[in-house]
A and B are shown apart, each in its own frame.
Chain A
Amino acid sequence: MNDNILEVKNLRTSFFTHLGEVQAVRGISFELKKGGILGIVGESGSGKSVSSLSIMRLVEIPGKIVEGEILFDGVDLVKLSDKEIQEYRGREISMIFQDPMTSLNPVYTIKNQMMEVILRHMHITPEKAYEEAKLIEKEKEREKVLEAIKNGKTRKYNKKEALERAVHFLKLVGIPEPETRIKEYPHQFSGGMRQRALVAMALACEPRLIICDEPTTALDVTIQAQILDLLKKVKNELDTTIIFITHDLGVIAELCQDVIVMYGGMIMEKGSVNDIFYNPQHPYTKGLHQSIPTDVVGQKKRLVPIAGSPPDLLNPPKGCPFSPRCKYAMEICIEKAPSLYKISDTQVSACWLQDKEAPDVEGFKKSGGEK
């Protein structure tokens, strides 16, 4: 299983508030293959943002990762110290947030903020370091440097190189006149430009994994189309892996290859984009599809909403989190949460209807066995 860049195993994250424990993420597991785009879709409070923050280890007090493993290239991020995780944040894994205005520091220029990441993390390539080392006149020093290069340690970027790199990435994301725009402050950028600058910042160290937490939710559709187009382009150019979190099924269909549907802190269904859109097996996924309008010209279909409201994570339902709103709910659903049933090689679904002993309901397949 070496082609998995990220493996999350039974992750639980909770917030310990004065009202009690809010269980935001309740035991999720998934793998992410190198080079893919994984979409996580869910409503507010479904735990999609908290699980991504957990991967970055950015959950703040009173939040805490209670249980679970997050294996990034075989390294368990949960066990790393604060100092060690710093080497991963920004360098190996970076994040693009929802609101471009609040995630940029308003008192620093774009240049300042972009160079900070690059100066902190980037080392020059061994080839370049070797070229430089040859020019050192004193023999002792030169040997010292060459020794370091052999051990894989090269010097960090200097300011001039960092600026060049920052400008290069701003150009890549399509900011006009990056040489002059880089000296400006975030408020001088428009919403779409700010989001582009954030993408550039996230890319600046060529991370292996980029987590996008609703990056287009605050933007207009025409700007959203620009940013999605940009993400596709840079993904191909830089060959990174992307986790894309959103509540918009349309964006998922457009961008992602694999999809995870979350609800109440748990994974409801997981599969390829075609599985989720053309052959959904979980009542919640089906419900989501029916709640968005898919009218054909000339005739209006009435929407089929999901009754009720999302669960209170302070007192989550004992069984399946969706059971209070599910029209197929059975006794066992309220008592015990189902595990993931295998539907096909690519698709799993967490619903008791997939169990062998469950009654037959039209539209739901039975699973061969538990995963």
Chain B
Amino acid sequence: MAREKEILEVKDLKKYFYIKHSFFGKITKTLKAVDGINFKIFEGETFGLVGESGCGKTTAGRTIISLYENSGGEVYFDGKPISIGFEEYKNEIIDLKDQLKEILLQIPKEDTERIHNIKVLYKELLRIIKYKLYKAKIRQRRVKRNRDPRDIQMIFQDPYTSLNPRMTVSEIIAEGIKTHKLLEGDAINERVYYLLETVGLKREHASRYPHEFSGGQRQRIGIARALAMDPKLIICDEPISALDVSIQAQVVNMLEDLQEKFGLTYLFIAHDLSMVKHISDRIGVMYLGKLMELASSDDLYQEPLHPYTMSLLSSIPLPDPEANKKSKRIILKGEVTSPINPKPGCRFAGRCKYAQEKCTRIDPQIEEIKPKHFVACHFVREINDLK
């Protein structure tokens, strides 16, 4: 497989949610669901994104497909930018105002000259940020033209809520085709039948309603809907977690077949680590909005370098009683902390047994430790005895 051409590039992607607006509309708390993640997806591969609930993996997927407007960073599809965020500058303005208040409190009121200087500096900084904000807003508007909704499609987690119960299967699958005026008349029906057969359903199913199908069949309808647009990239947001084990294997096999048949690229988001390992070529591990480790799936499972990945992998119970007895389990203390107004430093520091003073101060950047193996940890070399 040729894996050289980048199809999607995510640069410093951020998604913030603002909560607790006060009476005058002031933002008091920021939930940083995705806080600066970088990765590339190559054509024809499957990129897995794993993490515990609340780590921002679903939000990342939804932001890439522009279901959420991104707060910061850029997303490139096929080399062209498709979304650019500006909300982070608003955050910067708020932070700046808070900083000014703090500084002014420390300075005695008599020192008018210093206060004046600080205020001038503040105004200058504010102007720069506002300019950046303005530029980004304009770019965002321009970039929107690059978006072709047909390029990226999505398969959702819950097959019970992601299909409109009042539409027949053919209406559900043909909705996108009609919206984008891709086909007309009988050709639409032919296309629907073809898609249904591709995902292992029958022609007769076209006129039925979603409630007449089982969970696995509904997920097939969802996949057919995504395929209807002839997409290049499909974002699979936990497509198998709501299904039974025996049905999961059916869907996973079908996704693999479709990838081969249509040359699709997948962004596969899931928390079931063994299934992600099976389907993915490369995997990114997320924790509280940050990407912790990124490597090929074999490297990641054989030799995890980040302490979080190590414990995450060791806590999967294996379907093999003897292997379970042998394996050493690293049980993490505590639980995932809240992404609301996170503390500075590494997000994992609170639960990490190797954490030192530096970890609570400085946020580690993700860097290439081994060829094509990226880790975000200050002490990764010491922990793993690398040079």
Contact = CB atoms under 8 A, between A and B. Distances in A.
Interface in B292-343: 298, 301-302, 311-312, 314-321, 324, 329, 331-332, 335-336
A254 interface: yes
B230 interface: no
B278 A293 contact: yes
B271 A43 contact: no
A289 B302 contact: no
Nearest to A46: B244
A294 B319 contact: yes
Interface stretch (B80-88, B112-120, B157-165, B245-253): B245-253
A295 B278 contact: yes
Interface in A296-316: 297-298, 300, 302-307, 309-310
Contacts of A193: 335
A250 B278 contact: no
Given A249-B319, A253-B324, A303-B252, A229 B52 contact: no
A196 to B, nearest CB: 10
27 contacts: A44-B244, A190-B335, A191-B335, A192-B335, A221-B315, A224-B315, A224-B317, A225-B329, A228-B317, A247-B245, A250-B317, A250-B319, A252-B319, A253-B324, A277-B321, A291-B245, A292-B245, A293-B278, A300-B278, A303-B278, A304-B249, A305-B247, A305-B250, A306-B246, A309-B216, A309-B217, A310-B244
Contacts of B302: 297
A44 B317 CA distance: 20
Given A220-B53, A222-B52, A277-B320, A43 B245 contact: yes
A226 B332 CA distance: 8
B312 A221 contact: yes
B214 interface: yes
A229 B317 CA distance: 11
Interface of A: 43-44, 190-193, 220-226, 228-229, 247-255, 273-274, 277, 287-295, 297-298, 300, 302-307, 309-310
Nearest to B251: A305
Contact of A274 (B52, B271, B321): B321
Given A226-B332, A293-B277, A309-B216, A221 B250 contact: no
B245 A288 contact: yes
Given A222-B312, A291-B246, A309 B214 contact: yes
Contacts of B207: none
B274 interface: yes
Nearest to B303: A297
B138 to A, nearest CB: 41
B305 to A, nearest CB: 16
Contacts of A306: 246, 249-250
State the majority secondary structure of interface residues on B: helix
Interface string B175-216: 000000000000000000000000000000000000000101
Nearest to A290: B249
B277 A220 contact: no
Given A253-B319, A291-B245, A297-B302, 4 more contacts: A248-B317, A273-B321, A291-B246, A305-B252
Given A297-B298, A310-B244, A303 B253 contact: yes
Interface residues of B, number: 40
B369 interface: no
Given A253-B320, A303-B252, A221 B52 contact: yes
B52 A305 contact: no
A248 B274 CA distance: 12
A290 B245 CA distance: 10
A43 to B, nearest CB: 4
Contacts of B214: 309-310
Contacts of B380: none
Given A43-B245, A225-B331, A220 B321 contact: no
Contacts of B320: 253, 277, 294
B278 A254 contact: no
A229 B330 CA distance: 11
Contacts of A248: 317
Contacts of B301: 297
A68 to B, nearest CB: 26
B335 A293 contact: no
Given A222-B332, A226-B332, A254 B247 contact: no
B247 A309 contact: yes
Contacts of B96: none
B93 interface: no
Contacts of A225: 314-315, 317, 329, 331-332
B273 interface: yes
Contacts of B253: 302-303, 305
Contacts of B314: 225
Interface string B267-300: 0000101110110000000000000000000100
Contacts of B277: 293, 295
Ranked 5 nearest A-B pairs via Cβ: A293-B278, A305-B249, A250-B317, A225-B315, A291-B249
A290 to B, nearest CB: 8
A211 to B, nearest CB: 20
Nearest to A305: B249
Contacts of A249: 245, 319
A310 B244 CA distance: 9
B246 A288 contact: yes
A250 B316 contact: yes
A304 B335 CA distance: 36
B281 to A, nearest CB: 10
Contacts of B298: 297-298
Nearest to A325: B246
Contacts of B318: 250, 253-254
**Max count, chain A CB within 10 A of own CB: residue among B247, B315, B319:** B319
A226 B271 CA distance: 17
